[in-house]
Structure 1
């Protein structure tokens, strides 16, 4: 059946989803399918869903319509977090033919016996307790960097979050398998690897609910630093209570790990952090930021923050605003709280009006722009290494320095996926940074 059949993919959500989509795509290729762009005519469209925000839920329907416009007879499959949490809801969307849950998505080609569209969509979804085994994944081919999955699931019980319901218990890849995947990625000529997972600082827990840590996150970081051929390693989002000083110190001396951290805060109010059931208070967060800046003054630090959590007063929001304003961070990812089914927060008193959530989001996004600008300005006339991306955007090529400053120069295809030593010179009108080459030769 796969002979001459085409398949296309669309990914919503996080870096972890991108790594898993890429792995699922390789399973189709192994079965003889040809992968095409989502905008092209395909026989099968696979949509990897997210359910972190209400907006991701809504976008799913528009993406299905997008696929149907290209080929109304195509077979549409939904996988991912939303597919695990609300399979019936997705199955009811006009045009959807199959919905696969948390464990079934990795065996997707086993479920495709024929591509005949039926009146009702098929659902294959496990109980989330059955998602107790680990499936490795990594992305490549679509970007100049690869997302390498090292961990899945979460044992935390944050009151606003559905991820444990969508992905199951915390479990990790074996260290030797992570190293093997990293070596494979490096062999393909990819210059940067981003470590990803649901709660990567919890790395080390085995399959089947085994809570014993065979290796720690620090063990993982140290081992990856020794893999030949990797130019850059970047740590994605990591909980502040799991980012230990030993890891920060190691990164500061590392050959390949870059000075860039993304650390979820969620609120600058200790009272709200308690309601969220976060495992730290703001004082610990200050300690982590202080430690990073002490050993890596030019480090970039990104922060996740949620506004409008149930019970958040104006004073508690301003407490968060002032806390972030005073903190030596580089940018914010701001989320307006959205109610999620089967979470404790959805049942809490003190609902914050939507217009207030939007106003608070706007204020913090404005603060983020100021923080990013100040960070970029602090880097002017300093030397860095840039890795150029693959897109031609209106005649310009973009790249990121090791400490996540976004730079631009006139499009030159020879620069794609190459590293260069540069000196940052000025911030352009669009907020990106212009530079001069310190050495015009390619570093890698």
Structure 2
């Protein structure tokens, strides 16, 4: 029985693709390598979104080569796309597969064999499954290398996506996250194009599915039709990852983003007006070239206004080929570090303050796993983290929970079903 080790760095799209590799391999008899064992095949799915992602990718390639000395060491993903010649010089690496060929990676590496279709039926070690609906990006923001390494946008068809989600539901998954490199570009791969809102409405009809989440999207793409699809859906969660990057219009213009901070505020306001429980997560870049103290303060002020459930912070780093890498007025690393610390402190304060509004409220909670001894952690439908005593509870179940205590990492919750049983027995 052959053993495989898959290392995944970076985005949800990479996580989806790595799961698809594993599903293909498991159908051919491969098993995941256990701790201390050596793998016959290693796949490293890399990332290049920042300079530190490059370093982590190269470190993982060398680490897996040293620990496993596999027959086949395959490197793919965005760092592999950008650094193909460099990786081909590494004697340990047997194959470098481009993003364009990712769906056929195993056919490329083992051309003498027939392989199952590139799609997922499960999502190992996760209770929510990421479903890739789209790849590539047409935007060419000034800081971003992704369009160069992922290519232009292309979408899966709606029937193919529905088929994949139905298979996940049949395998017990209750929640899916519609993901891609830029899902606002989704067109269903057809003419006339399908809309993301059309897909959401179709997924909302899948029997047995309980939750739908929308992955990263830009504020200018939250139009009235998308808003209605999310708000009116029976299974769509009142939570969305809307990308900010900066709270300053001057910085956004240098980034070549397609929206203003007012567009962002308007998108979040309209969703909150439709459902007061709606929450938001976001991405913010710190230290973009030319970012002044005043521009950075605008970002902090907008964070106060919106109060995010979670902020993903990225310190700026030059990416090859991008316009931003050639811009003057680079922010010194010491200033980037200072702003990074200020922003993360603000993000933690904001998330805590946001949760204060919901103390005493009841929500449905999808249990995910044991993150603290004696407690299972899960997320409410509006993406608030809640910890509940694990006795008698299991991951991948949905319970009714009351948020009783707000702590630094999230709520301590009270299982309402157990409470009602105790009341009946009293």
Q: Same fold (TM over 0.5)?
A: yes
Partner of 2:365: 386
Deviations 1:191-219 (A, max 9, x none): 1101100111221152xxx7x55211111
Structure 1 residue ranges without an equivalent (≥5): 115-133
Deviation at residue 231 of structure 1 after TM alignment: 0.7
Give the corresponding residue for 1:158. Answer: 141
1:219 aligns with 2:198: yes
Displacement of 1:137 in angstroms is 5.5
Equivalent-residue separation in structure 1 for 2:305 and 2:33 (angstroms): 47
Q: Is the 8 A contact 1:170 1:205 kept in 2?
A: no
Shift of 1:297: 1.0
SS across alignment from 1:96: coil
Aligned length: 415
- Cα-to-partner distance string for 1:39-86 (whole Å, 9 max, x where unaligned): 642111111111111111111232234324432355321111111121
Cα distance, 1:355–1:74 mapped onto 2, change above 3 Å: farther
What's the secondary structure of 1:415's corresponding residue?
Answer: coil
- Compared with structure 1, are the counterparts of its residues 167 and 402 closer, same or farther at alpha carbon in structure 2 (3 Å cutoff)? same
Q: Tell me, what secondary structure is at the counterpart of 1:265?
A: coil
1:71 to 65, 68, 75: 68
Query: Cα gap change, 1:38/1:413 in structure 2, threshold over 3 Å: closer, same or farther?
Result: farther
Q: How does 1:266-345 map to 2 (within 5 A)?
A: 266-345=245-324
Q: CA RMSD in A?
A: 2.2
Q: Normalized against structure 2, the TM-score is what?
A: 0.92
The correspondence of residues 40-439 of structure 1 with structure 2, limited to 5 A, is 40-93=37-90, 95-113=92-110, 140-204=123-187, 206=189, 212-391=191-370, 393-412=372-391, 414-428=393-407, 430-439=408-417
Counterpart contact for 2:307–2:351, Cα < 8 Å:
no
Question: Once the two structures are superposed, what CA deviation does each residue of 1:83-125 show, in whole Å capped at 9, x if it has no partner?
Answer: 11211223344632221101222222223359xxxxxxxxxxx
Cα deviation for residue 412 of structure 1 reads: 4.1
Unaligned runs of 5+ in 2: 112-116, 421-426
Structure 1 residues 254 and 37: alpha-carbon distance in aligned structure 2, compared to 1, 3 A threshold: farther
Q: Secondary structure at the match of 1:78?
A: strand
Q: Identify if the C-alpha distance between structure 1 residues 9 and 271 changes in structure 2 by more than 3 Å, giving closer, same or farther.
A: same
Deviation at 1:228, TM superposition (A): 0.7
Measured against aligned partners, the alpha-carbon deviations of 1:124-155 in whole angstroms (never above 9, x if no partner) come to xxxxxxxxxx9766751321110001111111
Aligned equivalents of 2:371 and 2:247: distance in 1? 39
